[in-house]
Amino acid sequence: MGGCACSHHAVSPALERVTVVANEQVATGVGLVVFEAPRTAAEVLPGQFVHIRIAEGTSFILRRPFSVHRVRGGRIEILYQVVGVGTRALAEAGPGTVMDLVGPLGHGWEIPEGAAHALLVAGGLGAAPLGMLAEELARRGVAVTVAAGAPSEKRLLARELFEEVARRVELATDDGSCGTTGLVTGVCESLLDDEALDVVYTCGPEPMQRIVAAQAAAAGISCQVSLERLMACGIGACLSCVVPTTDGLMRACVDGPVFDAASVVWESAERVPEHSS
């Protein structure tokens, strides 16, 4: 792939003590937490993630990985869905709560040299890592089209952000409460037809990303996917998070989470608990 999304290159991660400044529910079962995290805010690139130690002294010991959704000044925003013990604890963390995170981590989205028009396809929580990307693309004058899907209107995420920076936003809901009734992959299909695109970026449930990747490949457009894997260390040391690629096993935490769709060897079995989105 072409050049990298960053003016500067990815810096090495650090351990940063961060403070919750806001934490609210933004959709059914989904929260947006804002952390005062100057070091991470200054260094994080679109598509990278942070590995958060949500609580200490609990019976769950591992950190939890979350994409950085947006950066505002010295603050980072994370969109999270409550699915288990860690995210439940995160949802309970009020302003002032101090945690530590390791970040920024991973290989983020890449913006090919001279790309003029990009399609972002978000399925449910997949909107999380696409937020920073949409803003960065707009900043660089790349035309952005967004296809976002969710079970229902109330579950659509980052709608304002997308509508603010994108030239076109197409929505799809399973129940038809907003936009097209059906899957976002349907919307993607037609957008691939009637728009002149240089690159496709997608994140969401893995089966959905796989379909989008296939659609983009069929249309001859390069596609980047963001894959979730269970992660222990998050920094490349434990090999928990491997993704089979044409170049062999890669680590989602350092070689990913963003991969060139063409290089991914898709697996049948589900590798991580599916988001209920």
- Residue ranges binding another protein (CB under 8 A): 12-15, 53, 59-63, 102, 229-230, 232-242, 249, 254, 267, 269, 271-273
- In the chain, what is the straight-line distance between the N-terminal and C-terminal CA atoms, in Å? 30
Q: Which of 117, 168, 210, 229 binds ligand FAD (CB under 6 A)?
A: 229
Q: Which residues pair with 244 in a beta bridge?
A: 249
Which residue's structure tokens are 């900043």? 139
For 127, phi then psi, to 5°, come to -65, -25
Please give the helix or strand (H or E) that residue 159 lies within, else none.
helix 159-165
Q: Nearest approach, Cβ of 272 to ligand FES (angstroms)?
A: 12
Interface residue with ligand FAD among 64, 70, 107, 159 (CB under 6 A) is 64
Looking at residue 29, the DSSP 8-state letter turns out to be T
Q: Which of 277, 273, 260 is nearest to 229 (CA)?
A: 273
Q: Is 103 in the site for ligand FES (CB under 6 A)?
A: no
d(CA 53, CA 88): 13
Identified binder of ligand FES from the candidate list 117, 236, 262, 263, rule CB under 6 A? 236
Q: How far is the CB of 163 from a second copy (least distance, A)?
A: 39
Which region among 57-65, 133-141, 162-170, 179-187 touches ligand FAD (by CB under 6 A)? 57-65
Chain center to CA of 144: 16
**Which amino acid would we find at residue 106?**
G
Cα angle at 262 between 273 and 10, to 5 degrees?
75
> Minimum distance from CB of 10 to ligand FAD (Å)?
14
Does 231 engage in binding with ligand FAD (CB under 6 A)?
yes
Which residue among 84, 95, 176, 244 contacts ligand FAD (CB under 6 A)? 84
Binders in 234-253 for ligand FAD, by CB under 6 A = none
Residue 29 neighbours by CB under 8 Å, 6+ apart: 81, 82, 155, 276
Helix (H, G, I), strand (E, B) or coil at 23: strand
The least CB distance from residue 2 to another protein, in Å, is: 27
Chain residues that interact with ligand FES, rule: CB under 6 A: 231-234, 236-241, 251, 253
Chain residues that interact with ligand FAD, rule: CB under 6 A: 49, 62, 64-67, 78-81, 83-87, 125, 128, 228-231, 257, 272-273
